[in-house]
Structure 1
Amino acid sequence: MTGLQNVLKQLSRLPGRLLAAVSGGKGVAGPTIPVLSSPPRHIDKAAILAMPPFAGLPLAAIEVVQTSEAAERACKVLAQAGTIGFDTESKPTFQKGEQSQGPHLIQLSTATQAFLFPVLDGSIAAPLRALLESEQVVKVGFDLRSDKAQMAANLALRCQGVQDLVPLFRKAGYRNTVGAVQAVALLFGQHYAKSKSVKMSNWATASLSVKQQRYAANDAYVALRAYLALANGHGAGSRRRS
């Protein structure tokens, strides 16, 4: 039995209440979200740009996973975290009717480090597949419908234990759809800068640029930070009034 398999087996044996504490919520139903009596309005772009910058993870805390040994080690760390941030990136399509073959990158983050898993040949490492298909590890992210659909269609992977943040924000009383930039502004009063040119760059490459690494890692990291802030009722958004 590998280290990852042992961690997943141990998690599966946890009582429901203890697993909820480890994972940050009751299974994948999500944490108990405080409902705001007077939820904040959507923060406009100008106001967000005036906020102090969101630092995100430093480059030293980001690892591009290139070998099967590194994948096993990374997935063990992620499984032990219990709840992790999750996102994917795909090479953009520009031709009408062209179907994406993504995801070309899967990013997962703990509260202190992120791991980037390139998907270049239509397959993923066995430890990563086991982690993504495990119901014991909660994966949180923003609007994950297309991510899950792509993984099912192109990787024959049914991602389990997924918690989408969009309905959680609605449950808390936020009226508009909340993405990563808006979430950081609402919860932390900070500006999370996202480059459109990086978003539209080539993700189907074995050599990710520093900008690509930061972009991908911090999307997963922000998702986890937002989830934990919602669960704890913390952040600027919980104090701001419309």
Structure 2
Amino acid sequence: MDALHSPILPTKEDIATLPRFQNISFEKIIVIQNLQQAEVIREELEQVQVFGFDSESKPIFKAGEQSTGPHLIQLATRERAYLFQMNTELWHFLQPIFANPNQMKAGFGLKNDKHLFRKKGIELNGVLELSKCFGSFGFKQAVGVRNAMALLFQVNFPKSKKISTSNWAARKLSQAQIEYAAADAYACILILEELWQRKLLSRELKLS
């Protein structure tokens, strides 16, 4: 049965009964901390036409405190996930990808990402907000990555609040943080390609 034929989002209880999402293997996740490491994959990144995209910021717990994020940028293809622990050099390195309208960046909740990027003086082009792609199926509520994975693949995509609110500005990320961050971007590319495969989404999209 195709869950997209019923415009009702699955409940948390429904999702909990589904098989667990199979993340990209850990050895295919590349963590980049400096420009030297980034240069090794420059040509590889330049060849990519579509990325799954997400970002993480150190959470704010004090009233009036301003975010200095994003602190981690996640880009993913079917084959690899790239996690960039951001600094001035890496912002400069990634700027051509962010600005390129011909390299699609597909993700969820990207409006806030655009706001944070503008604070860094960077415009995001070639962006596809995946949550909007489900509106045409009759869903009235916003569809996030967890619901999208349940609807399209009938899998439980786990979202840990403990990890999501952890310190993404830490110099050394834990394995749990690395796997969580990679999964968020990897799921986006899987969702986009599945929508294309089912002919539920045009490949000729007007991107923001």
TM-score scaled by structure 2?
0.88
CA RMSD of aligned residues (A): 1.9
The Cα of 1:234 is off from its aligned counterpart by 7.6
Q: Equivalent residue for 1:113?
A: 80
Say which SS state the counterpart of residue 63 (structure 1) adopts.
strand
Say which SS state the counterpart of residue 126 (structure 1) adopts.
helix
Unaligned 5+ segments in structure 1 are 1-35, 236-242
Per-residue displacement from partner, 1:87-137 (whole Å, max 9, x unpaired)? 000000001111111100001001111000011x45534331111111110
Q: Equivalent residue for 1:169?
A: 134
Q: Superposed, which structure 2 residues align to 1:117-196 within 5 Å?
A: 117-119=84-86, 121=87, 124-153=90-119, 155-196=120-161
Q: Equivalent residue for 1:87?
A: 54
Identity %: 36
Q: Equivalent residue for 1:68?
A: 35
Per-residue displacement from partner, 1:181-229 (whole Å, max 9, x unpaired)? 1111000000011111000000012201100000111100111111111
8 Å contact from structure 2 (residues 21, 157) kept in 1: yes
Say which SS state the counterpart of residue 47 (structure 2) adopts.
helix
Say which SS state the counterpart of residue 88 (structure 1) adopts.
strand
8 Å contact from structure 1 (residues 86, 141) kept in 2: yes
The amino acid across from 2:66 in the alignment is Q
8 Å contact from structure 1 (residues 134, 161) kept in 2: yes
Distance of aligned partners of 1:75 and 1:132 in 2 relative to their CA distance in 1, 3 Å threshold: farther
Q: Equivalent residue for 1:230?
A: 195
2:47 equivalent to 1:99: no
Distance of aligned partners of 1:169 and 1:78 in 2 relative to their CA distance in 1, 3 Å threshold: farther
Say which SS state the counterpart of residue 229 (structure 1) adopts.
helix
8 Å contact from structure 2 (residues 35, 89) kept in 1: no
Correspondent of 2:175 among 196, 207, 210: 210
Unaligned 5+ segments in structure 2 are 201-208
The Cα of 1:157 is off from its aligned counterpart by 0.7
Matched length? 198
The amino acid across from 2:23 in the alignment is G
Structure 1 stretches of 4+ moved >6 Å = none
